[in-house]
Amino acid sequence: MNPVPSPPPLDVEACALAPVAAKAAPSAIVIFGATGDLTHRKIVPALYQLAKQGRLPEETAVFGYARRPKSDLEFRAGLRAALEQVAHVRPVHAEAWEKLAARIWYVQGDLDDPAGYARLRERLASVPGAALLEDRALYYLATAPSFFGVVADHLATAGLAPGNQGGASRRLIVEKPFGEDLASAQELNRALHRAFPEETLFRIDHYLGKETVQNLLYFRFGNSIYEPLWNRRYVDHVQITVAERLGVETRGDYYDATGAARDMLQNHMFQLLSLVAMEPPASLDAHAIHDEKVKVLRSIPTPSSEEILAASVRAQYGAGTIGGRAILPYRREPRVQPSSRTETFVAWKLEVDNWRWSGVPFYLRTGKALARQVTEINIVFRPPPSVLFAAVCGAKLGRNGLRIRIQPNEGIHLQFNAKTPGLPAIQRADLHFRYGEEFARYLPEAYERLLLDALAGDSTLFTRRDEVEEAWRLVDALRAAWKNESRADLPLYEPGSMGPEESDALLARDGREWQPVHYD
């Protein structure tokens, strides 16, 4: 009898999309605000890793633009020293760094000084190999949002924006926050569009560059066993948690003017929600994916103030300890107003009113000084009839759940009911998939993938104008309801907890509870 042949190994190359590096042509990368923290902690380490892996076109040139006087050598030395402080790149490979450093230059100039942009234009044209760049440029605005429109206008005046010899091969990356509300986001979009058409704008949200977030599309639409269950018939509710263990630390002035809803809910959390709830796109084309994400946000009706107050919780952390470290109450943190009503925690129950999700609540929560540093999505399924097992497990069977861990310990975990060995009883069991164990390779940092995609002109993992504006529509309604709320003060929660009692009560009223958060 001949043995049954084993299935052939999965041809990863046949299933993969074309490598992004193959699509990215050599370009000039210009970093505005190049002496700042973002450049040193994220942007340049990402470029170094890409260069080390051979994924960055060798002719790529990097230009730092900032107001501090520096020589090229001083700028390179500062970047090299900063690399040594980045855990995931240590130890720095000397040969790889020197090869990249030879293509790094510095231009001194103020963000609102036309003379600086004239110097930049001259430098772009004069460095070795400039002719190979063929007017291709990626401008990265690692600056305060108030300068986004200023830089875009000056680039246009200097002949460095799209439409001036370079067309759509000149692109602009902007960081969050993208506006403070819907009106300011719309005004910022109009200001940027004066010089950069929408297809050349890349609004970065680093959560979208995480491998586990990208995997949501592949997991949902590449597996026949899950997609048929991904709807109101089988899903009881969805939970999305973005928990931070640190307090506001040294960012008190920024955070007190922003709050949890604008800092995390408007961007990261609504992006995760839209990826979980979206319909299958017609293709993996960026426009097709963005179209489906926008449909999700548009399917969330603007709630009334009464509905929002009944379905949301906001709070501040009080005094306490986390891991033996004392935490000041939020209002006593440096650069926070003593009478501040800015929320450090928010939970909100929303519903997506479409054919797939009508009646399924989405519970979102995010906060500072919580028990865990974790981001995860929990899909909680409807329970099966329990009469068959009522004698051994009581009136209720445990619900099946699918936990998608975004960070840390990235992975996917399936919770199901199983017989307890040796007993006529049922208990919960888990199946685990962990990226770190399954794939014996380096897990790229988010900025690595995002920079490569921007160089290639692929906006799939960036946010489009209408996505930003729809998210602000909802957050504006939330903040307006809070502003008119009659309560005298915000509830407090203890640092090291998972939020205030009111957050637990929000789900308890619906006969549900937050899924426990573990390090696994």
Q: How far apart are CA 392 and CA 429, in angstroms?
A: 16
Distance set, CA 114 to CA 72, 109, 476 (Å): 21, 9, 36
Three-class SS of residue 510? Answer: coil
Distance set, CA 210 to CA 115, 284, 405, 444 (Å): 38, 17, 11, 8
Q: How far apart are CA 241 and CA 376, in angstroms?
A: 5
Beta-carbon-side half-sphere exposure of residue 94 (alpha carbons within 13 Å):
0
| Catalytic, out of 206, 268, 290, 413 | 268
* Of the candidates 32, 18, 24, the residue with the CA atom closest to the CA atom of residue 51: 24
Are residues 405 and 374 in contact, defined by beta-carbon separation less than 8 angstroms? yes
Active site residue 193: no
Q: Residue 245: how many CB atoms within 10 A of its CB?
A: 15
Determine the distance from the C-alpha atom of residue 19 to the mean position of all C-alpha atoms in its chain, rounded to a whole number: 22
Q: Which residues neighbour 399 within 8 Å (Cβ) at sequence distance 6 or greater?
A: 236, 380, 381, 382, 383, 415
Distance set, CA 443 to CA 29, 72, 82, 439 (Å): 24, 31, 21, 8
Q: Just list the catalytic residues.
A: 268
